[in-house]
Amino acid sequence: MSISINLHHQFPELTLDVDFDAPAGVTALFGASGSGKTTVVNAVAGLLQPDRGRISVAGTALLDTSAGLRLPPHKRRIGYVFQEGRLFPHLSVQQNLRYGRWFAGLRGPSQAEDHLVEMLGLGALLNRRPGDLSGGEKQRVAIGRALLSEPRLLLMDEPLAALDGPRKAEILPYLERLRDETQVPILYVSHAISEIARLATTVAVMERGQLRKAGPTGDILADPSLAHAIGLRDTGALLTGRVVAHHMDGLSELAAGGGKLFLPKVPNALGEQLRVRISAKDVMLSRDRPVGISALNILDCEVSEIRPGRGPGAFVRLKAGADHILARVTKRSVNALGLAPGLSCYAVIKSVSVARADVGADVGTEASSDHA
């Protein structure tokens, strides 16, 4: 396991208890504000000393209270991208970028620096001062500064929270490249499901200082038992589909969930993989193959689990090809249709969002195929 975190800390009004391992890639810490996400990240960085705990990154222990090991922050080699950037105002962009390199013993210009400057689009900013930069530019410099110190692990504490929609959309592609092109594991704090759906490999869900569950992003977002922690609106399946055709009528066809999904034309080339999100609230169920219906996206499914909620609703977990999708229906419908595990049925999908496109956009303008 790439990152291993075990923490216990007693605050006056919150008990923090977290224990999870995560593989390489982007691990998202998800939860409402005040659930302790930032505290976990600060403990990993060494800015908070927990009562008890063990933290290791790629086999190197940073903290082990039982062995009396508490590395100070400057010896942890952790890159930290803060919500507000925290650039040094008295240094130029280039000096900011090189600050951590100097302390890591990496002096002078380097290929890594050139590559990162190009990747983050910082070339034109190098001689500027932080006070002149826009919020998005500041955040890109902060990311570059953290990465150039060649950290073992990159921490990002809601790096997009202080930015408006268009600025978020400007940074996200850089984060995706980071995930795909560097080997550095990333611990990413967010309370925006859209960011997590787009970026995360692993998700750890936190609630009131406690870890609820950690696992692969697709499993966590579609876990009905986490619906309250994630939010009823946001619970849903995350599928990876392959672009198989672009049709003349402006729709793209995706192979996903053991069938085909149609959505408004995506810019991706044929054969490319795409993450799409299907909210549970956008899925209707039918025992018979629906005919004479405007919806284009209908998948053959098999019911694998039914989980009644506290109210009149219930989550139905369905197996669609090799994937799982989630539907939120009423308990009355479950009874009326006689749904039970193992039963075949059809999922009518009202809306498919491309995980990339709905990030940064307002909920109402999210690019999705809506054929309800």
Partner 1 sequence: MQFLSPEEWTAVALSLRVAFWATLLALPLAIAVAWWLARREFWGKQLLNGLVHLPLILPPVVTGYLLLLTFGRRAPAGAWLEETFGLIFAFRWTGAALAAGIMGFPLMVRAIRLAIEAVDPKLEEAASTLGASRAWVFVTVTLPLILPGVIAGTLLGFAKAMGEFGATITFVSNIPGETQTLPSAIYAFLQVPGGEASALRLVVISVVIAMTALLLSETLARRAAKRVSGR
Q: Binders of partner 1: how many residues, by CB under 8 A?
A: 30
Closest to partner 1 by CB, 185 or 257: 185
Tell me if 60 contacts partner 1 by CB under 8 A: no
Rounded CA gap, 290 and 292, in Å? 7
Question: How many Cα atoms occupy the beta-carbon half-sphere of 108 within 13 Å?
Answer: 2
Cβ proximity to partner 1, 148 vs 171, nearer residue: 148
130 binds partner 1 (CB under 8 A): yes
Q: Is the dihedral of CA 334, 340, 344, 348 positive or negative?
A: positive
Smallest separation, CB 136 to partner 1 (Å): 16
Residue 100 near partner 1 by CB under 8 A: yes
Query: Is residue 184 a contact residue for partner 1 (CB under 8 A)?
Result: no
Smallest distance, partner 1 to C-beta of residue 93, A: 10
- For partner 1, which is the closer residue by CB, 46 or 218? 46
Binding part of the chain for partner 1, among 98-106, 176-184, 251-259, 321-329 by CB under 8 A, reads 98-106
Least Å from the CB of residue 250 to partner 1: 47
Looking at residue 253, its amino acid is E
In the bound state with partner 1, the residue whose beta carbon lies nearer, of 78 and 229, is 78
The binder of partner 1 chosen from 12, 72, 250, 342 (CB under 8 A): 72
Per CB under 8 A, 62 contacts partner 1: no
Which of 1, 47, 343, 361 touches partner 1 (CB under 8 A)? 47
Looking at beta carbons only, is 130 or 360 nearer to partner 1? 130
Is 131 near partner 1 (CB under 8 A)?
Answer: yes
118 binds partner 1, rule: CB under 8 A: no
Site for partner 1 in 73-92 (CB under 8 A): 73-80, 82, 84, 86-90
Which of these segments, 71-79, 117-125, 170-178, 298-306, binds partner 1 (CB under 8 A)? 71-79
Instruction: Give the burial class of 169: count Cβ atoms within 10 A of its Cβ; 0-12 exposed, 13-18 middle, 19 or more buried.
Output: middle
Mutual orientation of helices 135-148 and 111-119 as an angle, nearest 10°?
Answer: 150
Out of 8, 52, 70, 129, which residue is the one contacting partner 1 (CB under 8 A)?
129
Q: Please tell me whether residue 247 binds partner 1 under the rule CB under 8 A.
A: no
Show the site string, 144-173: x = touches partner 1 by CB under 8 A, - = not: -xx--x------------------------
Among 24, 64, 70, 99, binds partner 1 (CB under 8 A): 99
**Does position 12 bind partner 1 by CB under 8 A?**
no
Q: Show the 3-state SS of the chain.
A: CCEEEEEEEECCCCEEEEEEEECCCEEEEECCCCCCHHHHHHHHHCCCCCCEEEEEECCEEEEEHHHCEECCHHHCCEEEECCCCCCCCCCCHHHHHHHHHHHCCCCCCCHHHHHHHHHCCCHHHCCCCHHHCCHHHHHHHHHHHHHHCCCCEEEEECCCCCCCHHHHHHHHHHHHHHHHHCCCCEEEEECCHHHHHHHCCEEEEEECCEEEEEEEHHHHHCCHHHHHHHCCCCCEEEEEEEEEEECCCCEEEEEECCEEEEEECCCCCCCCEEEEEEEHHHEEEECCCCCCCCCCEEEEEEEEEEEECCCCEEEEEEEECCEEEEEEEEHHHHHHHCCCCCCEEEEEECEEEECCCCCCCCHHHCCEEECC
Name the residue nearer to partner 1 (CB basis): 117 or 211: 117
| Least distance CB 139 / partner 1 (angstroms) | 13
* Residue 49 is a binding residue for partner 1 (CB under 8 A): no
Between vectors from CA 195 to CA 191 and to CA 196, what angle results, nearest 5°? 75
**Minimum CB separation from partner 1 for residue 14, in Å?**
21
Q: Is 3 in the site for partner 1 (CB under 8 A)?
A: no
Which CB atom, from 59 or from 89, has the smaller least distance to partner 1? 89
**Contact footprint for partner 1 (CB under 8 A):** 45-47, 72-80, 82, 84, 86-90, 99-100, 103-104, 129-132, 145-146, 149
